[in-house]
């Protein structure tokens, strides 16, 4: 190209992000490179702007906005207005500057956050990348490639010749300004190539931007993958028999000879263990579909097939209607409707929306809860949303996960699980977010470390433990800052400090038995609702400030039920009385042994 674009409404905007570690007004050699590039962009009638990231209070971590004075949203606003983004950084001994690494960590959140709600395109889509690099030792080519790849993942386009590199003398401490002073023909050439190529590509993108619908592509690929029939079903090579004789000393933490960890979770093992103690033999028939064959040691010719999901112990041969009923019952909107029909208080249901743009903001009353219409384990559940901005962020996250968005009113209180087994009240547990209780002597960090030494706590993603180690993450840091604490703060005696706001087991939640505290009216409503289901176990999720009072007094409500609740949190809770709730399942089986399936064991 031999002419600059004319000045017009389509004039390009260039943003230079200087990731030097030197605060203003210290001299930045990276900025000296930019000064020359800025002149070249000016010749093409581009508008330029520069930010020195070290001068901004960019919080460390992941996420688009970490609050508490985080300046990263300012950078996002500048990126949103630019067509060309130039990143300047120094590389020493192959490593990029700490400022650039912090910026890249924060930018990584843009893969899911601040995406276009219609197409799923990240914020950097249809932007063009340029690099200005000071490589003091000449060994930073792989680092430059890695930085460009990180921006490419976010949608930023790298045209040919978009990198300008100045390498210093490896035997001295000389720097760009001291050595070059603009004399390098190589630097001048490379800057001109970068400028012309980035301007050319940005101009083309202005005229014809990429229309790629990432969301539609992902949904199509997911549907196509689900439609593919595997050549053969994943079956265990041979059925593993778990019998009482083989487990004289039952210990779910001792896997010698059993290796049940390869197949079952702690929740499933808790049910199995109770049956094995009754004399039943359990064989694992299908790992993928979690199908088990159960026989009794006294009469191995008779038994039944137990499918973990959907979670019913079923003694019928006609399973299709049951599967369809389960599918319907899994939709959270259907669950709320069922419980409301039973006379149970539930949150206000504002509806289900396919995209963020569909949400009628004018009809909503804050605070709100946004969640996927399907799902479990508190994944992509956003509570106590107080503003439109918070709601839109939450809705985008759910939308990008491929789910529809369910909105309901926020209910204040703590989280409880009420368990019904065979139509009878079996127990209740408070699911408490990970927390520390001060003793007036030890710091928050010391208390955190002590809690993770509790003997029954397993690793974060271990599927075969009820209790998991506490996790300190960005949420924990925000809660610390809000309380005015640091990790070195000595927590006052008796004060409870929460490290999390959600209750997933993988974040170190505690389970507190409250079976004897639940008000009779709450128990009665759960029992009545559970009677309409052909399931031995139903778990109801309750939010209330005090379970010992009627919900009419506390404003509490039920927001969920499940057919295969986590029975292990009752049997292996870490605060209060451990309740043998699975005994009720096997009591039912013992009483109905004459109704078990024939020796054919026809699976469903």
Residue 255 lies in a domain: yes
Sign of torsion over alpha carbons 452, 456, 457, 458: positive
Pair 20, 82 in one domain:
yes
Query: Is 604 a residue whose pLDDT tops 50?
Result: no
Pick from 124-138, 209-223, 249-263, 417-431 the range whose average pLDDT is largest.
Answer: 417-431
Each residue of 487-499: pLDDT tens digit?
Answer: 999 999 999 999 9
Pair 118, 197 in one domain:
yes
What's the rounded Cα separation, in Å, for the pair 450 and 443? 11
- Helix pair 266-277, 583-591: axis angle to 10 deg: 50
Cα dihedral 489, 495, 501, 507, rounded to 10, equals 70
* Least confidently predicted of 228-242, 443-457, 461-475, 486-500: 228-242
Pair 20, 157 in one domain:
yes
Pair 210, 356 in one domain:
no
What's the rounded Cα separation, in Å, for the pair 163 and 87? 10
Residue 327 lies in a domain: no
Q: How crowded is residue 164: how many other Cβ atoms within 10 Å of its Cβ? A: 26
Pair 204, 118 in one domain:
yes
What's the rounded Cα separation, in Å, for the pair 264 and 251? 14
Residue 367 lies in a domain: yes
Helix residue spans in 82-114 (DSSP H): 98-107
Helix residue spans in 401-519 (DSSP H): 444-451, 474-483
Pair 124, 35 in one domain:
yes
* CATH label of the domain that carries residue 397: 3.30.1490.20
Residue 329 lies in a domain: no
Count of the separate structural domains present in the chain: 4
Tokens of 160: 């040919």
Pair 72, 192 in one domain:
yes
Pair 202, 253 in one domain:
no
State mean pLDDT over 187-205.
Answer: 94
Pair 373, 492 in one domain:
no
CA nearest to 46, candidates 203, 277, 241:
203
What's the rounded Cα separation, in Å, for the pair 159 and 163? 9
Residue 441 lies in a domain: yes
What's the rounded Cα separation, in Å, for the pair 496 and 434? 10
536 vs 480: which has the higher pLDDT: 480
- Of 409, 426, 461, which residue constitutes the final position of a domain? 409
Contact 198, 130 (CB under 8 A): yes
Pair 121, 183 in one domain:
yes
Pair 191, 60 in one domain:
yes
- Of 472, 500, 528, which residue constitutes the final position of a domain? 500
Confidence of residue 437 (pLDDT cuts 50, 70, 90): very high
Pick from 24-28, 64-68, 589-593 the range whose average pLDDT is largest.
Answer: 24-28
Residue 555 lies in a domain: no
Residue 577 lies in a domain: no
- Of 474, 500, 526, which residue constitutes the final position of a domain? 500
Pair 48, 196 in one domain:
yes
Each residue of 323-370: pLDDT tens digit?
Answer: 444 444 556 668 888 999 999 999 998 988 988 888 988 889 999 999
* CATH label of the domain that carries residue 41: 3.40.50.360
Contact 11, 46 (CB under 8 A): yes
Contact 452, 469 (CB under 8 A): yes
Measure the N-to-C terminal CA separation of the chain; round to a whole number of Å: 68
Tokens of 229: 């029939």
Pick from 65-74, 131-140, 495-504 the range whose average pLDDT is largest.
Answer: 495-504
465: domain range?
Answer: 435-500
Residue 307 lies in a domain: yes
What's the rounded Cα separation, in Å, for the pair 271 and 566? 10
Beta bridge partners of 562: 539
Contact 55, 23 (CB under 8 A): yes
State mean pLDDT over 464-473.
Answer: 92
Confidence of residue 428 (pLDDT cuts 50, 70, 90): very high
Query: Is 17 a residue whose pLDDT tops 70?
Result: yes
84: CB partners within 8 A, 6+ apart:
12, 13, 14, 15, 41, 46, 127, 128, 129, 130, 198, 199, 202
């Amino acid at each position: 190209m031999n002419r600059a674009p004319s000045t017009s409404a389509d004039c390009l905007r260039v943003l230079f992000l200087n990731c030097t570690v030197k605060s203003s007004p210290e001299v930045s050699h990276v900025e000296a490179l930019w000064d020359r590039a800025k002149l070249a962009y000016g010749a093409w009638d581009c508008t330029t702007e520069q930010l020195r990231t070290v001068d901004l209070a960019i919080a460390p971590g992941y996420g688009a906005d970490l609050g508490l004075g985080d300046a990263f949203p300012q950078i996002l606003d500048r990126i949103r207005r630019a067509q060309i983004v130039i990143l300047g950084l120094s590389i020493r001994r192959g490593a990029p500057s700490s400022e650039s690494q912090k910026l890249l960590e924060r930018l990584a959140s843009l893969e899911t956050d601040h995406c276009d709600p219609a197409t799923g395109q990240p914020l950097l889509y249809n932007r063009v990348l340029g690099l200005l690099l000071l490589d003091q030792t000449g060994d930073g080519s792989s680092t430059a490639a890695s930085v460009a790849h990180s921006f490419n993942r976010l949608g930023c386009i790298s045209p040919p010749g978009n990198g300008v590199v100045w390498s210093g003398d490896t035997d001295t401490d000389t720097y760009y300004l001291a050595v070059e002073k603009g004399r390098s023909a190589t630097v001048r050439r490379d800057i001109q190539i970068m400028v012309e190529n980035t301007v050319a590509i940005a101009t083309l993108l202005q005229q014809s931007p990429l229309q790629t619908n990432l969301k539609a592509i992902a949904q199509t690929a997911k549907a196509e993958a689900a439609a593919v029939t595997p050549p053969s079903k994943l079956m265990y090579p041979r059925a593993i028999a778990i019998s009482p004789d083989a487990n004289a000393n039952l210990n779910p933490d001792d896997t010698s000879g059993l290796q049940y960890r390869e197949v079952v979770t702690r929740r499933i093992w808790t049910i199995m263990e109770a049956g094995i103690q009754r004399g039943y033999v359990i064989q694992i028939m299908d790992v993928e579909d979690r199908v088990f064959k159960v026989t009794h040691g006294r009469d191995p010719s008779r038994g039944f097939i137990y499918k973990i999901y959907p979670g019913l112990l079923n003694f019928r041969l006609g399973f299709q209607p049951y599967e369809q009923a389960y599918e319907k019952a899994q939709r959270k909107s259907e669950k709320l409707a069922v419980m409301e029909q039973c006379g149970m208080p539930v949150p206000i249901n504002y509806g289900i929306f396919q995209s963020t743009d569909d949400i009628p903001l004018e009809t909503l009353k804050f605070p709100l809860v946004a969640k996927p219409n399907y799902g479990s384990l508190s994944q992509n559940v956003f509570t106590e949303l107080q503003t439109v901005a918070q709601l839109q962020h939450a809705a985008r996250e759910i939308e990008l996960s491929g789910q529809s968005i369910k909105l309901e009113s926020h209910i204040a209180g703590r989280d409880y699980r009420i368990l019904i087994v065979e139509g009878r009240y079996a127990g209740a547990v408070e699911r408490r977010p990970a927390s520390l209780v001060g003793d007036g002597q030890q710091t928050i960090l010391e208390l955190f470390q002590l809690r993770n030494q509790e003997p029954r706590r397993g690793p974060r993603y271990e599927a075969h433990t009820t209790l998991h180690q506490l996790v300190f993450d960005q949420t924990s840091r925000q809660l610390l800052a809000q309380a005015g604490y640091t990790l070195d703060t000595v927590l006052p005696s008796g004060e409870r400090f929460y490290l999390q706001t959600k209750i997933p087991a993988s974040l170190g939640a505690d389970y507190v038995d409250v079976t004897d505290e639940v008000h009779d009216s709450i128990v009665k409503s759960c029992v009545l609702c559970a009677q309409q289901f052909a399931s031995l176990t139903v778990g109801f999720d309750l939010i209330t400030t005090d379970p010992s009072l009627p919900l009419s007094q506390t404003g509490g409500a039920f927001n969920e039920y499940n057919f295969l609740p986590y029975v292990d949190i009752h049997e292996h809770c870490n605060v209060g009385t451990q309740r043998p709730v699975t005994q009720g399942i096997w009591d039912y089986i013992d009483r109905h042994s004459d109704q078990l399936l024939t020796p054919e064991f026809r699976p469903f």
